[in-house]
Amino acid sequence: MTTPRLSDPTALTRNRARARPEALFLHDRAMDDIQARLAMVNRTFTTPLIIGPFASYWAAGLGLPNPRAIADTDTLAITPGAHDLAIHALGLHWSSDPVGQLIQARRALRPDGLLLACLFGGQTLHELRATLAEAESQITGGLSPRVAPMAEIRDLGGLMQRAGLALPVADCDRLSVTYDSAFHLMRDLRAMGEANALQHRLRRPTRRAVLTRAAEIYAEAHANADGRIGATFEIIHLSGWAPDDSQPQPLRPGSATHRLASALGATETPLKD
């Protein structure tokens, strides 16, 4: 069975080619978080792999030794078992097969290698999604896909297990960025390479009346005290390890030999019937 495509590869490549380095501040934010996470791991990585739309930008920013940077194409250009660290750098939200991407990244790792992935989560641009939908409904009487559907953190943690990774962890970094108007936000998204690249997007220019009405609704619903509008970006971070016998293994339920109350130094009070 063929997996339905989320994104249009031609549009996605075109949008990313138009990105400007000065607009990649969210990548800088995610990169800082990745560096902090690596600093907490008591290990020196020598063969890192970086996967993503701006992998070379990340390779330069992270300062890891001898990084290999590759694009997040459907079939990754990997060598199985060649790396001790893989970083999927803020592009997974556009993938039509995110589990497949994670499986390929895991295959690139040696046993007990670390995979770190970050992507935009479900709360990202929820204000813009709602205002565009309301404006288009009012002006045209219909709706068209404009903002990519993004997964919630509770679902993304399960993707790591499905990809065969051990000790999976998922957490998020949520921030609000302010703009003069919705038009300034949309221009910034284009400069980030994050313009609409959905496979089933509207293939003709959006009517000016729809965008103008969306900007009005946005300002009415989400303006700050100084008149600027806020936009939410949620960056979800995933981590997991390529399985290895040296890793901690869960115990069989009921196999404990000590009581929790004893470990805590607490008095255990039985429940009454």
**How far are the Cα atoms of 32, 63, 87, 187, 191 from residue 35, in angstroms, in the given order?**
5, 9, 11, 29, 24
Contact (CB, 8 A) for 255 and 160: no
Q: Give the pLDDT score at 143.
A: 85
One-letter amino acid for residue 192 of the chain:
M
- Domain boundaries 9-247, CATH class: alpha beta
- The pLDDT profile of the chain, 273 residues, written as one tens digit per residue, is 456 788 999 999 999 999 999 999 999 999 999 999 999 998 999 999 999 999 999 999 999 999 999 999 999 999 999 999 999 999 999 999 999 999 999 999 999 999 999 999 999 999 999 999 999 999 998 888 888 888 888 888 788 889 999 999 999 999 999 999 999 999 999 999 999 999 888 888 889 999 999 999 999 999 999 999 999 999 999 999 999 777 666 556 665 666 767 777 777 777 665
Helix, strand, coil percent values for the chain (each to nearest 5): 40, 20, 40
**Do residues 58 and 116 lie in contact, with contact meaning Cβ atoms separated by under 8 Å?**
no
> Can you give the pLDDT at residue 254?
60
Give the per-residue pLDDT at 3: 62
Domain range summary for the chain, segments of one domain joined by +: 9-247
Give the H or E element holding residue 107. helix 98-107
